[in-house]
Amino acid sequence: MNQILQMRSITKEFPGVKALEDVTLTVGAGEIHAICGENGAGKSTLMKVLSGVYPHGTYKGEIIFEGEEVRFSSINDSEAKGIVIIHQELALVPYLSVAENIFLGNEVRGAGGLIDWNKAAHQAGRLMERVGLHENPLTPVSQLGVGKQQLIEIAKALSKEVKLLILDEPTAALNDTDSEHLLDLIRQLKADGITSIIISHKLNEIAEIADNTTIIRDGRTIETMDMSDPTATQERMIRGMVGRDLAHRFPERTPEIGEPVLEVEDWTVYHPTQPGRVIIDNASFNVRAGEVVGIAGLMGAGRTELAMSLFGHSYGRNITGQVKMHGQVVDTSTVAGAVNASIAYCTEDRKRFGLNLLDDIRHNISAAGLFKLVRGGWINGNEELKIAEEYRASLNIKTPTVMALVGKLSGGNQQKVVLSKWLYTDPEVLILDEPTRGIDVGAKYEIYTIINRMVAAGKAVVVISSELPELLGTCDRIYTIAYGRITGELPVAEATQHALMELMTLERSAELPARNGDNLEASRARGGAEKPSDLDMKGLNR
Amino acid sequence: MTATVTPAKTSTAGVRELLTSNLRQSGILIAFVVVFTAAAIASPNFLSPGNISNIVQQYSYILILAMGMLLVIVAAQIDLSVGSVVALTGAVAAVVVIKWGMPWYMGVLAALAVGLLVGVWQGFWVAFVGIPGFIVTLGGMLIFRGLTYQVLNSISLSPFGGVYYEINNGFQNGLFGGYGVDVFTLVVFAIGALVFAYLQWRTRQGRVAYQQTVESPPLFIGRLVLLAAVIMWLGFELASDRGLPNILILVLALFVVYTLVSQKTVFGRHIYAIGGNLNAARLSGVRVRRINFWVFVNMGLLSAVAGIVYSSRMNAAQPGAGNGLELDAIAACFIGGASTTGGIGRVGGAMIGGLLMAVISNIMSLLGWPMQLQSVAKGVVLLLAVAFDLWNRRRSESAA
């Protein structure tokens, strides 16, 4: 196979840090090439060098594209050659239409240099056809889901006559169906002769789609493996990424389970803006001291909505139901109330909901438990610093100083700051929403260790996750949630990915009374046995 | 969580580290020192005792407004109404004192009450109705200007005279006598320098006790001596003129209070949290509405203080008073390193920003440059300060 791209001995230095050192990447024409590595390994930097974000001259080494050396000084240069990068955070304008977004910066000119919208819509329609997006080209992008927005990005790339498409974590925010669709599309583009580089943390996905995989660790290339080779296993990839054998992806723990700490009864939540739409329907669950309880559900099932509505009614309206701590009803209608009741919630989206990226690590750690630092009306700044240092040490937050801005940390370390913030409030119940999303294998292990430490101290932990192996590896008991209802409860010994997935896709049946207390019991009883044959989608729209 | 007790090790930092670690703050301070020195060289009158008093008196109300404005800007809001509120509160004080002939303190109380009401009004719309501060205070700018004309029947009221006039224009002196140099003023400044040094020393001891990086002893002492010398020089300048200006006491007191409130109280820290990330603040238990409400109430109150000072300086209340003061206050905050999107900014920075504009205006007057150029200069300084800030931020980002 001839090569479309060769990056030779790329070295990129930032003041004080060597982000890339002598990295070599060879991509064959028409292949799907995966790049994987831990966060901070240098994947994104390498792609920024390739796409001209870091112009020629700011790095050492050379880039050979289609047989000739290229020197890009901006993204425009690389796009002119047919190299298009799609970033993890999509760059679409929400209020503009699909067609306008596709041709943004590349507008279809008609007579007199004015934009010919009819022609643009027509061309957009054809591109959308190619990526399998069946929508009106004039629909505003904000009305489409993340999966479809990703397709628009690809359509946009196609409009630029892309030869090499770079996708940075394309499926990170997608559910399984959308991911599958996207991977199919990438295969189809391959059949059309378009080469793709895909950066991903999802090893299953890489195994499924990639022809070759290059592993990067600490700014160096470790190896490039041919994925058709039977020795190219996930274990080998993980070993390459973390530099050691990860025999146990989850730390060992012997559960010592006590009395129930948190009990939630008949929790019902309505959509914040669409009256009458039930988001959480009569959910009841409990967590006991020393126990890790999982909540498994597909995206949109109501996992985050359940947690956020419990935590200070931060989501939804017309919330009914009871929350008990140690058998006593507590008021969690404000965040302060929930914190008072010793409940803590770590968000799934740490950048938007978890951290003040403008402030330093120290102030972020104390943000929720600030009242504990007040002496006679003033905040004790020295005590605050001491606490921050303690958490840095005990959670192994990698930073030269706790006065560093939290925005400069890697994902895993940011997650540890969010955890520190809530650990400092000394919670009895810690709700972790996707605690390991977007963080690397090594940091994941550390987060699991922290969970274990919490329960060893007799606290209760709730883990919400869409990664079933993670739930099976960390939890003692797993609830499943589907379409806003809790559809099942399994001790981890009886849970398998298959059984959980079945419960997670369980739809509301018409036979069941619409609003009924034993709804839950009924569905639980049913859930273990078989999937109901008579599905009624309308039941959901009640 | 158990504290890991490590053997006491105290690391010390040199000048370079201190400057580079905090370039955002120190950059504007260096700019101020440069401009100040240039002004002193350009005009011999600049450092004359009378002129130093003048600068303080002329710009006091902008400094006062900037302290409130900084909190508003850090909370990612803006207040365009302060110029009108300055006029309205001054007008109310004038009606009470001049028209009704009541004592000066009644005028002060009435102005403060009006400022409080204005703050409650605007805070209500921003915090509890959820209208952006820009809109609420744009409305307020029109409403309170109109009310000022109404209260004053569209004519000026003057003079206040008496104690009210002394608020901005009076001096404390002569208590201990003196020979051309007021001893009282010198004593006050000497005590101030000692208290300052003591507090610095205590802070340092606290940091040492918690094993943090502190300046090396020679650097620490050198800095104290330098600052004490600056304080004493300022004291001597004022003492050789008319003594200690009342307004300086007020501005310094407010400066200390607002620095402490913004840095050392839960209220202050919550303002930064809201400006930094509203959603994260809410999910950390910050009562966002309450904080926003009090930020605007505080701004209303400080506008009233500035209104009193302003009318005292003018010795009159005019319907068009304070026009454009909001822009000076906002500019002071941005020159002083506040972020336009909230979450970043310091009271001390805003003070230096305000003083920088004051010094530039003052030296241009002394050199006899036309008034209109002062406005141009202020605009250029604002642009340069924010450009420096952007450059500095990019520099620190690329270092990451």
What are the backbone angles phi and psi of residue B234, rounded to the nearest 5°? Answer: -60, -40
- At B27, is the pLDDT very low, low, confident or very high (cuts 50, 70, 90)? confident
Q: Which of A336, A354, A393 sits opposite B280 (nearest CB)?
A: A354
Q: Is residue A351 part of a domain?
A: no
**What pLDDT sits at residue A535?**
33
Antiparallel, parallel or unpaired: β A68-70 and A60-65: antiparallel
Does the pLDDT value for residue B314 go beyond 80? yes
Q: End of a domain among A242, A269, A300?
A: A242
Lowest-confidence range among A129-138, B25-34, B299-308, B354-363? B25-34
Q: End of a domain among A384, A409, A425?
A: A425
Does the pLDDT value for residue B6 go beyond 80? no
- Decide: residue A104, CB within 10 A, 0-12 exposed, 13-18 middle, 19+ buried: middle
CB A146 within 8 A of CB A174: yes
Q: Is residue B347 part of a domain?
A: yes
| CA–CA gap between residue A104 and residue A79 (Å, rounded) | 14
- Decide: residue A253, CB within 10 A, 0-12 exposed, 13-18 middle, 19+ buried: middle
* B339–chain A Cβ distance below 8 A for any pair: yes
Are residues B88 and B236 part of one domain? no
Beta bridge partners of A69: A64
Are residues B260 and B234 part of one domain? no
| CA–CA gap between residue A306 and residue A279 (Å, rounded) | 8
CB B30 within 8 A of CB B231: no
- Per residue in A370-394, pLDDT tens? 999 999 889 998 899 999 999 999 8
| Contact flag B282-A335 (C-beta cutoff 8 Å) | yes
Question: Count of CB atoms within 10 A of residue A349's CB?
Answer: 16
Lowest-confidence range among A465-469, A481-485, B67-71, B155-159? A465-469
Mean pLDDT of all residues in A19-32: 91
* B398–chain A Cβ distance below 8 A for any pair: yes
List of chain B residues whose C-beta atoms are within 8 Å of the C-beta of residue A339? 285
**What pLDDT sits at residue A8?**
92
- At A91, is the pLDDT very low, low, confident or very high (cuts 50, 70, 90)? confident
What are the backbone angles phi and psi of residue A40, rounded to the nearest 5°? Answer: 85, 0
Which tokens go with A380? 């004790």
Are residues A269 and A306 part of one domain? yes
| Contact flag A391-B1 (C-beta cutoff 8 Å) | yes
The tokens 């596709």 sit on which residue? A102
What value of ipTM does the predicted structure carry? Answer: 0.84
Residues A417-427, buried b or exposed e (16+ Cβ, 10 A)? Answer: bbbbbbbbbeb
Residue A97 C-alpha, separation from nearest chain B C-alpha, in angstroms? 27
Q: Cβ contacts of residue A144 below 8 Å, gap of 6+?
A: A98, A135, A152
Antiparallel, parallel or unpaired: β B12-13 and B214-215: parallel
- Per residue in A485-497, pLDDT tens? 999 999 999 988 8
| Contact flag B212-A382 (C-beta cutoff 8 Å) | yes
Q: End of a domain among B241, B264, B279?
A: B241
- Decide: residue A473, CB within 10 A, 0-12 exposed, 13-18 middle, 19+ buried: middle
Are residues A338 and A203 part of one domain? no
Are residues B208 and B219 part of one domain? yes
What are the backbone angles phi and psi of residue A199, rounded to the nearest 5°? Answer: -100, 130
**What pLDDT sits at residue A513?**
43
| CA–CA gap between residue A397 and residue A362 (Å, rounded) | 12
Q: Is residue B211 part of a domain?
A: yes
**What pLDDT sits at residue B183?**
84
| Contact flag B285-A363 (C-beta cutoff 8 Å) | no
* A513–chain B Cβ distance below 8 A for any pair: no
Q: Is residue B122 part of a domain?
A: yes
Does the pLDDT value for residue A435 go beyond 60? yes
Does the pLDDT value for residue A523 go beyond 60? no
* A383–chain B Cβ distance below 8 A for any pair: yes
**What pLDDT sits at residue B15?**
58
Three-state SS at A20 = strand
Q: What is the separation, in whole angstroms, between the first and last Cα of chain B?
A: 30
| Contact flag B283-A377 (C-beta cutoff 8 Å) | no
Are residues B254 and B219 part of one domain? no
**What pLDDT sits at residue A231?**
84
Q: Tell me the angle at which helices B104-123 and B288-314 cross, rounded to the nearest 10 degrees.
A: 150
Q: Is residue B48 part of a domain?
A: no
| CA–CA gap between residue A467 and residue A471 (Å, rounded) | 7
Does the pLDDT value for residue A89 go beyond 90? no
What is the extent of the structural domain holding B138? 56-173+245-393
Does the pLDDT value for residue B211 go beyond 90? no
| CA–CA gap between residue A480 and residue A462 (Å, rounded) | 13
Cα separations in angstroms, B161 against A493, B102, B104, B168, B380: 87, 12, 9, 11, 38
What are the backbone angles phi and psi of residue A268, rounded to the nearest 5°? Answer: -130, 135
* B5–chain A Cβ distance below 8 A for any pair: no
Residue B31 C-alpha, separation from nearest chain A C-alpha, in angstroms? 24
List of chain B residues whose C-beta atoms are within 8 Å of the C-beta of residue A423? 1
Are residues A205 and A82 part of one domain? yes
Cα separations in angstroms, B239 against A367, B362, B397: 46, 21, 47
Are residues B190 and B332 part of one domain? no
* A345–chain B Cβ distance below 8 A for any pair: yes
Q: Is residue A292 part of a domain?
A: yes
List of chain B residues whose C-beta atoms are within 8 Å of the C-beta of residue A363? 269, 272
CB B186 within 8 A of CB B176: no
Does the pLDDT value for residue A269 go beyond 50? yes
Which tokens go with B325? 């003061």
List of chain B residues whose C-beta atoms are within 8 Å of the C-beta of residue A454? none
Residue ranges with strand state E in chain B: 12-13, 171-172, 214-215, 244-245
Q: What CATH number has the domain bearing residue A39? A: 3.40.50.300
**What pLDDT sits at residue A440?**
72
Are residues B225 and B129 part of one domain? no
Residue B269 C-alpha, separation from nearest chain A C-alpha, in angstroms? 8
The tokens 């009221």 sit on which residue? B157
- At A274, is the pLDDT very low, low, confident or very high (cuts 50, 70, 90)? confident
What percent helix, strand, coil does chain A show, rounded to 5?
Answer: 35, 25, 40
- Per residue in A29-88, pLDDT tens? 999 999 988 766 788 889 999 998 899 888 999 999 999 999 999 888 998 899 999 887
Q: Is residue B73 part of a domain?
A: yes
- What mean pLDDT is reported for chain A? 85
SS (H, E, C) A470-486: HHHHHCCEEEEEECCEE
Helices (H), ranges, A341-438:
361-366, 381-394, 411-424
Helices (H), ranges, B210-319:
217-240, 246-264, 266-276, 278-283, 288-314
Lowest-confidence range among A135-149, A243-257, A404-418? A243-257
* B285–chain A Cβ distance below 8 A for any pair: yes
List of chain B residues whose C-beta atoms are within 8 Å of the C-beta of residue A352? 277, 279-280
| CA–CA gap between residue B382 and residue B357 (Å, rounded) | 9
Does the pLDDT value for residue A331 go beyond 50? yes
Single-letter amino acid, residue A388: A
The tokens 């402490």 sit on which residue? B260
Does the pLDDT value for residue B256 go beyond 90? yes
Are residues A233 and A276 part of one domain? no
Please write down the long-range contacts of B160-164, taking CB distance under 8 Å and 24 or more positions apart. B160/B93, B160/B94, B160/B97, B160/B98, B160/B104, B160/B107, B160/B311, B160/B312, B160/B315, B160/B316, B161/B315, B162/B104, B163/B104, B163/B105, B164/B93, B164/B97, B164/B104, B164/B107, B164/B108, B164/B312
Q: Which of B21, B283, B286, B341 has the highest number of chain A CBs within 10 A, making it the mutation to test binding with A? A: B283
Which tokens go with B393? 């931020």
- At B178, is the pLDDT very low, low, confident or very high (cuts 50, 70, 90)? low
- At A114, is the pLDDT very low, low, confident or very high (cuts 50, 70, 90)? confident
Residue B315 C-alpha, separation from nearest chain A C-alpha, in angstroms? 39
CB B271 within 8 A of CB B295: yes
Are residues B283 and B190 part of one domain? no
Closest CA to B334 of B384, B294, B295: B384
**What's the domain count of chain A?**
3
Are residues A62 and A141 part of one domain? yes
Are residues A326 and A200 part of one domain? no
Mean pLDDT of all residues in B283-309: 96
Q: For residue A402, give the chain B residue with the closest CA.
A: B212
| CA–CA gap between residue B53 and residue B182 (Å, rounded) | 14
**What's the domain count of chain B?**
2
Mean pLDDT of all residues in B379-388: 87
Q: Which of B270, B280, B398 sits opposite A353 (nearest CB)?
A: B280
DSSP string, B120-142: HHHHIIIIII---HHHHHHHHHH
| CA–CA gap between residue A22 and residue A219 (Å, rounded) | 8
Mean pLDDT of all residues in B9-17: 55
Cα separations in angstroms, A222 against A21, A45, A230, A378: 11, 16, 18, 52
Q: End of a domain among B218, B241, B264?
A: B241
Q: Which of B260, B275, B285 sits opposite A368 (nearest CB)?
A: B285
What is the extent of the structural domain holding A17? 3-242
* B104–chain A Cβ distance below 8 A for any pair: no
**What pLDDT sits at residue A466?**
76
Q: End of a domain among B210, B241, B272?
A: B241
| CA–CA gap between residue A299 and residue B196 (Å, rounded) | 58
Q: End of a domain among A406, A425, A444?
A: A425
Does the pLDDT value for residue A210 go beyond 70? yes
Are residues A398 and A308 part of one domain? no
Q: Is residue A249 part of a domain?
A: no
- Per residue in A163-192, pLDDT tens? 999 998 888 777 778 888 889 999 999 999
Mean pLDDT of all residues in B235-240: 86
| CA–CA gap between residue A294 and residue A477 (Å, rounded) | 6
Are residues A458 and A499 part of one domain? yes
* B281–chain A Cβ distance below 8 A for any pair: yes
Mean pLDDT of all residues in A293-307: 88
Are residues A286 and A157 part of one domain? no
